[in-house]
Amino acid sequence: MDDRYQKVLQQLTAMSARLGEPERDLVILGEGNTSAAVDEEIFLIKASGQSLVGIQPEGFVAVRRPAVMELLKQGSLTDAQIKDGLRAASVNPEAAAPSIEATFHALLLGLEGIRFVGHTHPTMVNALLCARDAEKVIGGSLFPDQIVVCGPAPLLVPYTDPGLPLAHAIRDGIRAHVEQHGEIPKVILLRNHGLIALGRTPAEVESVTAMWVKTCRVLLATAAFGGPQFLSPENVERIHRRPDEALRRQLIFR
């Protein structure tokens, strides 16, 4: 394996283990999955059944992205067909099976500037995503650092079966988000399921995850004081476009 592969594997392992730290309450047991692009063709993803807690480099498998993108073009596949397809897409078919969510990871790692993806089930985020009023309370931004780190708006994806249907729902959601906001989201919220953070670097994925957990904590606390008071769309736009905030973003996500 070449240097680049080893470097990305080491970065992904460290990021994943940090996301799996029990005290952060982002995942328990086998929840969550993470991935990283090695190059245009190969990406690494958590193997099925692995736990993020204390994960080691052996917990990841290398998969060919174009082969997974071919699976995504199918209208529907059975679970067995997806599993076979993912195994066939693996660089080493003898290795452990990739996570069933490799379909949406392949899609997200094909987006402009995205090299690392972290999918977790944080308790605070799921409290929001399992709530009746989720759509209403994420309809605006609460504080400047939320916008600087997580962008002006998250993408909320309705609840869908895992695997191919979820990957299709995410793909359709991203298209609509780009049409509406002119850029890809950094935070994808899966209704009644969990959070996906996108980044150029592991630091960006970890920062987006931590800031969105904080956003949910703040949101919850606003319920005790009359509900959220959103920033105006003008303020959100100004914070999102400020040159000094762009510089701060670069420093955070290095």
Binding site for Zn ion (CB under 5 A): 194
What does the buried/exposed string (b/e) look like for 87-122 if buried means 16 or more CB atoms within 10 Å of the residue's CB? bebbbeeeebbbbbbbbbbbbbbbeeebbbbbbbbb
Least distance to Zn ion, CB of residue 252, Å: 26
Instruction: Find how far residue 181's CA is from the centre of its chain.
Output: 18
Q: How many other CB atoms are found less than 10 A from the CB of residue 144? A: 16
Element (H, E) at 155: strand 155-157
Mapped onto helix, strand or coil, the DSSP state of residue 91 is coil
Least distance to Zn ion, CB of residue 105, Å: 11
Least distance to Zn ion, CB of residue 136, Å: 24
140 vs 162 by CB, closer to Zn ion: 162
Structure token pair of residue 129? 């995503």
173 vs 194 by CB, closer to Zn ion: 194
Cα–Cα distance measured from residue 102 to residue 100, given in angstroms and rounded to the nearest whole number: 5
18 vs 248 by CB, closer to Zn ion: 18
Least distance to Zn ion, CB of residue 190, Å: 7
Neighbouring-strand partners of residue 60: 46
55 vs 231 by CB, closer to Zn ion: 55
Least distance to Zn ion, CB of residue 157, Å: 12
147 vs 157 by CB, closer to Zn ion: 157
By Cβ distance, which residue is nearest to Zn ion?
194
